[in-house]
Amino acid sequence: MTPFKHLLWVTVLTLSPLMAQAERIKDLVSITGVRENQLVGYGLVVGLPGTGDQTSQAPFTIQSIRNMLARFGIKVPDNVNPQLKNVAAVTVHAMLPAFAKPGQSIDVTVSSIGNAGSLRGGSLLMAPLTGADGQVYAMAQGSLLVGGLAASGQDGSRITVNVPSAGRIPNGATVERQAPGQIASNGVIQLNLKNSDFTTAHRLVEAINGQFGEGVARAVDATSIAVTGPLDSDKQITFLSLLENLQVKPAEASAKVVVNSRTGTIVIGGTVRTLPAAVTHGSLTVTISEKPEVSQPGPFSKGETTVVPRSEIAVEQATPRMFKLDTGNTLDDVVRAINAVGASPSDLVAILEALSQAGALRAELIVI
């Protein structure tokens, strides 16, 4: 693995495996048919204090203005190109909750798609929000709340705090159509584990059958559990209320070591074990410094002053130290051994990868 450079390394370590505690079924599963739906739309934000799109570089903003004015019976001459600095073209997106009914309100997020400097102080005009099927499910409109700030001077200086080109409108969209959803099919409710695991699925089936009777639940695979409930919708809600509050102890997570190559974060699960191995890890540092010298000509020589390059190269190799890992070492033992030799997080990545290649690391090494 190529050594990571110029990264802030943060190592997150679980020092000892903890016994899994019992959790509610509602925290472990989702129900097929009970889901949020993504909505997206296009609109115009108006009333900006001169921080809108530069229409010469965002022609779609002018096109949108022309279309909007045409609907109100106002025709902009073709040879007129209005410079509207207080208008910005934006995308609007929202999440439509399961079972949201017409007339209810949902939050929306508004983001600039042109070159607007800031959306602070603007108002979104009525924008339809559509789902993946092309149907309009909500209408958005309202004043934006923008957490960012941008300011610039005439000399070109500029300061930006957070992101001023995006904002939120709490309760900014009204639901116009209910998204399709179904809790059960012929009385069968399908539960889907958020983290697939055969053991957890088996324990879920045992807990449900123990509470409601044998044969009520059956495992379909490592993710899905089919539960036979009542056919009446009112009784289904009561049944689900009792079911989702049952306590189940999930299985221990599989042994994994996750390395994020972009942020330098290393997470080692508490179930990681090692086989006997001896590890040595050293580092080689090469330093090159430039110290140019000035060469002066002799008196009355009519020569010219020149700069003579001079490089100094230094090589330093740290004395490698070896440590031993025994069979069945816990994560606590591994971390203690590596810390004892003063290995940095970047060294830890190289050591873990070498242990995995040698077959001494009883865990899945994941690099993301």
Q: What gap in Å lies between CA 212 and CA 225, rounded to an integer?
A: 15
CATH assignment of the domain containing 29: 3.30.1360
Least confident of 119-123, 232-236, 302-306: 302-306
Residues 6+ apart with CB under 8 A from 70: none
Q: Average the pLDDT over each of 132-146, 147-161, 261-275 and give the range with the smallest value.
A: 147-161
Structure-model confidence comparison of residues 134 and 11, the more confident one: 134
Do the domain assignments include residue 304? no
Residue 131 and residue 117 share a domain: yes
Do residues 69 and 189 share a domain?
Answer: no
User: Minimum mean pLDDT among 1-5, 17-21, 228-232, 332-336: which range?
Assistant: 1-5
pLDDT digits 0-9 by tens, 168-196: 999 999 999 998 878 888 888 999 999 88
Compute the average pLDDT of residues 40-59: 85
In a domain, 300, yes or no: no
Q: Which long-range contacts (CB under 8 A, 24 or more apart) does 229-233 make?
A: 229/184, 229/187, 229/188, 229/189, 230/187, 231/186, 231/187, 233/183
Can you give the pLDDT at residue 4? Answer: 36
| Domain endpoint, select from 175, 193, 211 | 175
Tell me if 179 sits within 8 A of 37, measured CB to CB.
yes
Domain identity same for 57 and 138: yes
Q: Would residue 309 count as lying in a domain?
A: no
91 lies in the same domain as 168? yes
Looking at the chain, how many residues does it have? Answer: 368
Same domain? For 220 and 337 the reply is no
Same domain as 65, residue 30 = no
Structure confidence at residue 7 as a pLDDT band (50, 70, 90): very low
Q: Which residue among 123, 158, 175 closes a domain?
A: 175
Model confidence over 226-245: pLDDT tens digits? 999 888 888 888 899 999 89
Q: What is the mean pLDDT of residues 251-265?
A: 76
Q: How far apart are CA 53 and CA 60, in angstroms?
A: 10
pLDDT digits (tens, 9 = 90+) for 80-100: 777 778 899 999 999 999 889
**Do residue 221 and residue 281 come from a single domain?**
no
The pLDDT of residue 71 is: 85
Tell which wins on pLDDT, 245 or 159: 245
Indicate whether 166 belongs to any domain: yes
The predicted model scores a pTM of 0.67
pLDDT for res 141: 94
Structure confidence at residue 269 (pLDDT): 74
* Same domain, residue pair 155 and 49: yes
Q: Is residue 100 part of a domain?
A: yes
Which pLDDT score is estimated for 273? 74
> Which of 248, 276, 300 marks a domain boundary?
248
Decide if 165 is inside a domain: yes
Are residues 363 and 272 part of one domain?
yes
Q: Per-residue pLDDT averaged across 103-121, rounded?
A: 91
pLDDT over 80 at 221, yes or no: yes
Residue 43 CA to residue 61 CA, distance in Å, equals: 10
18 or 298, higher pLDDT? 298
| Residue span of the structural domain in which 220 resides | 23-34+183-248
pLDDT digits (tens, 9 = 90+) for 270-288: 777 777 777 666 654 445 5
Are 166 and 49 found together in one domain?
yes
Q: Which residues contact 110 (CB under 8 A, 6 or more apart)?
A: 43, 45, 90, 91, 92, 119, 124, 144, 166, 167, 168, 169
Any domain includes 295: no
Query: What mean pLDDT value characterizes the chain?
Result: 78
**In this structure, is residue 4 part of a structural domain?**
no
Question: Does residue 328 share a domain with residue 215?
Answer: no
Look at the chain and report how many structural domains it folds into.
Answer: 3
Residue 222 and residue 330 in one domain: no
pLDDT per position as a tens digit, 326-356:
655 666 666 666 666 666 666 677 777 777 7
Q: Can you give the pLDDT at residue 226?
A: 92
**pLDDT tens digits for range 310-328:** 656 564 555 555 556 565 5
How many other CB atoms are there within 10 angstroms of residue 259's CB atom?
21
